[in-house]
Structure 1
Amino acid sequence: MTAPEPTILATSGGHRAGTRTRLLFDALVHHAVDLSGVHGRRPRILYVGTATGDAEHVTARISEAARVAGFDLTPLYLFPMPNVTDVEGTVLDHDVVWVMGGSVANLLAVWRVHGLDSVLRRAWRAGVVLGGVSAGSICWFRGGATDSFGPELRPVTNGLGLLPYGNGVHYDTDAGRRPLIHRLVADGTLPSAHCTDDGVGLVYRGTELVEAVTEVPGKGAYLVTREGGRAVEERVEPRRLPTPAF
């Protein structure tokens, strides 16, 4: 089962603290599964934690969240080497690829060394839903604002480019991101940028933005375009997703 056309869910959310577990999958991860169209069996999620250096404690929390949600989860490690022989076959055998946040600069470099960038492009075209949070959002775009290089935010402009826009994440909680995105769009470093408050996701069919969705009330999405050498921002009201029941 795959999505009917190339689909990406780019987010600044998807996780929340649990009561009996450290982490739960919130509505955005469940929506990624819904977008895949899987039914009649347990959804298969491929978890990619490259941006955290494949940190085992993070993978353990994500695996527990998947168990509680009723998903079958497979981690794809690239450190110290790929943990599967057939990387492409493994990716294509899943309904959703979920990419964790962390260092988007390191993620992009390591993916390219192992050819995972090309594999993910083929998976996207084949209908595997691509999704993720923070670095796992920026990676699908041409670039965005990142703290990969240090505490001071800097541009990253070598994203995979499946989506021909810039991307701003944590738009309402990291004060430096909005002004940097505005500057990068205004000076042409990035094309028009699509941005999300924490808890918000953007759904793309092919390269077209079709909907903004949220797991947190009151949050927004934003389109930042260049007009006359300056950045102009438009708010997009997201649709509220139902809270998963556990």
Structure 2
Amino acid sequence: MTMKKRTLSLNFQRCIPLFLVVFFTFVTINPVVGQDLRSKANPEQTIFVWGSDINKKFIQYVVDLTNKPDPRICFLPTASADSKESIEYWESICKNLSIDPYICKVWVSSKTDTIPFEDILLSMDAIVVGGGNTLNMMAIWKAQAIDKILQKALKKGIILAGGSAGSICWFENGVSDSRPVDISIVDGLGFLPYSNCPHYEEKERKELFHRKILNKEIKAGYACDDLSGLLFKNGKFVEAVSKNELNNSYYITSKRGKLEIEKLQSEFLVNKDALSKSDYEVIEINKGITECLSENQNDITKAFVSFIKRVTKEDKLNEVLNSTRIMDILVYDHSLAAVINKREYDFYCVSLFYKHDNVWHSAGEDIGDTPVEAEISFRERAKMHMTRLNEKYQ
């Protein structure tokens, strides 16, 4: 090496420490760039699970987790043996969601023009696993090395999700009906270091889960009723969500020989374009119609009672009046009202009324399984109802 080349080499080596100082200083004082670089090197590992098979509200939650306008989301129906019914249901859900949907079938022949599982799954923003036979699904995944692909996906930052069998699979183990006759504990992939029990409202599953934890045969774990879900990030519980107040999630452990069951506070799932709580007034009633008739009524209550009398046969009127209970009245923009009421068959109606010429007119009904679902139905559809009714009366 000549003296000139040696000088250049030494100068370059002296510059390296200076360059590193400048680089790390820039990253430190510029948190946006620093955070971006760190997130790419060590992406967040996200898993979302719920208690039953796939449904639209939970898939929308997965879409929101991606923070992308049209995320690539792949449905993995292995647990149902790639059944036509589960695939058709997935396709029906996707029609009304802003996603780029895919399906990864594993019941394939190498003679067909199939794309390798890894190429499909590792190109996604999220992967959703459907319900079915957990035990069979795990065996197939291991035979096809899909378990290893899913681990790569998680480390890459691809969101993993699913309900029922699609919930158990991410945990160390969980309560499953995969074997004949009796429910049992089935091993999962162990991405989450806990046990799991979907369909927790079912007595047999709940009792087995409690017994196994109490006897320390399985680790402490998380349970979900059918319409509730849990979000985990980097292996830690972050948030519980639910479609209504009757479905909840729980953390269950054993301490000093006693079972401890913690009910987790849930956020209710509501569409992004729904009314916020501050957009409408809530008038609490919680009285039967007959009780309301004996008191001074507001105009909306009077309109509701008139509506009930008009749509009920005369020989059934007393029965309906005695069995109907007004829970709350919701008023939006002073011209759209929803009377949430409980009817004789224990379902909740959202009876809509529109104010025109200073008179409340009946404007149709929606149904909710619970008071919360009834209110959510109103919040999600109020703007649509207002547009329709304004066009009708103007």
TM over 0.5: yes
Scaled to the shorter chain, the TM-score interval is 0.7 to 0.9
Match of 1:88 among 118, 138, 162: 118
Q: Is residue 166 from structure 1 mapped to residue 195 from structure 2 by the alignment? A: yes
Rate the CA distance shift 1:186–1:77 in 2: closer, same or farther, 3 A. same
Give how far 1:98 is off: 0.6
Stretches of structure 1 lacking an aligned partner (at least 5 in a row): 16-24
Aligned-partner SS, 1:164: strand
Q: Distance in 2 between matches of 1:203 and 1:4?
A: 16
Q: Distance in 2 between matches of 1:14 and 1:155?
A: 19
Aligned-partner SS, 1:183: helix
Give how far 1:81 is off: 3.9
Q: Is residue 7 from structure 1 mapped to residue 7 from structure 2 by the alignment? A: no
TM-align CA RMSD: 2.2
Match of 1:103 among 133, 143, 148: 133
Aligned-partner SS, 2:161: strand
Give how far 1:57 is off: 2.5
Any conservation in 1 of the 2:52–2:198 contact (CA below 8 Å)? no
Look up the match of 2:344.
Answer: none
Q: Distance in 2 between matches of 1:58 and 1:26?
A: 13
Matches within 5 A, 1:86-235: 86-156=116-186, 158-172=187-201, 174-235=202-263
Q: Which moved more, 1:2-11 or 1:186-195?
A: 2-11
The alignment's TM-score, normalised by the length of structure 1, stands at 0.88
Q: Is residue 70 from structure 1 mapped to residue 98 from structure 2 by the alignment? A: yes
Rate the CA distance shift 1:216–1:235 in 2: closer, same or farther, 3 A. same
Q: Distance in 2 between matches of 1:121 and 1:145?
A: 22
Aligned-partner SS, 2:75: strand
Q: Distance in 2 between matches of 1:115 and 1:169?
A: 25
Give how far 1:13 is off: 4.0
Structure with greater helix percent: 2
Q: Distance in 2 between matches of 1:14 and 1:145?
A: 15
Aligned-partner SS, 1:191: coil
- Asked which structure has the greater RCO (Cα within 8 Å, sep 6+), the reply is 1
Amino acid corresponding to residue 219 of structure 1 in structure 2: N
Look up the match of 2:67.
Answer: 37
Q: Distance in 2 between matches of 1:60 and 1:169?
A: 23
Q: Which moved more, 1:5-14 or 1:74-83?
A: 74-83
Aligned-partner SS, 1:117: helix
Give how far 1:231 is off: 2.4
Any conservation in 2 of the 1:13–1:201 contact (CA below 8 Å)? no
Give how far 1:237 is off: 1.6
Extract structure 1 runs of 4+ deviating beyond 3 A. Answer: 80-84, 243-246
Give how far 1:243 is off: 4.2
Q: Distance in 2 between matches of 1:64 and 1:135?
A: 20
Aligned-partner SS, 1:123: helix
Q: Distance in 2 between matches of 1:62 and 1:141?
A: 23
Q: Distance in 2 between matches of 1:14 and 1:153?
A: 18
Give how far 1:14 is off: 6.4
Amino acid corresponding to residue 190 of structure 2 in structure 1: G
Amino acid corresponding to residue 29 of structure 1 in structure 2: I
The alignment's TM-score, normalised by the length of structure 2, stands at 0.56
Aligned-partner SS, 1:112: helix
Q: Distance in 1 between matches of 2:75 and 2:235?
A: 23
Give how far 1:146 is off: 0.7
Look up the match of 1:18.
Answer: none
Stretches of structure 2 lacking an aligned partner (at least 5 in a row): 1-39, 273-379, 382-394
Q: Distance in 1 between matches of 2:47 and 2:165?
A: 14
| Identity score, percent | 29
Look up the match of 2:360.
Answer: none
Q: Distance in 1 between matches of 2:263 and 2:189?
A: 25
Q: Distance in 2 between matches of 1:104 and 1:153?
A: 12
Q: Distance in 1 between matches of 2:65 and 2:181?
A: 35
Q: Which moved more, 1:235-244 or 1:187-196?
A: 235-244
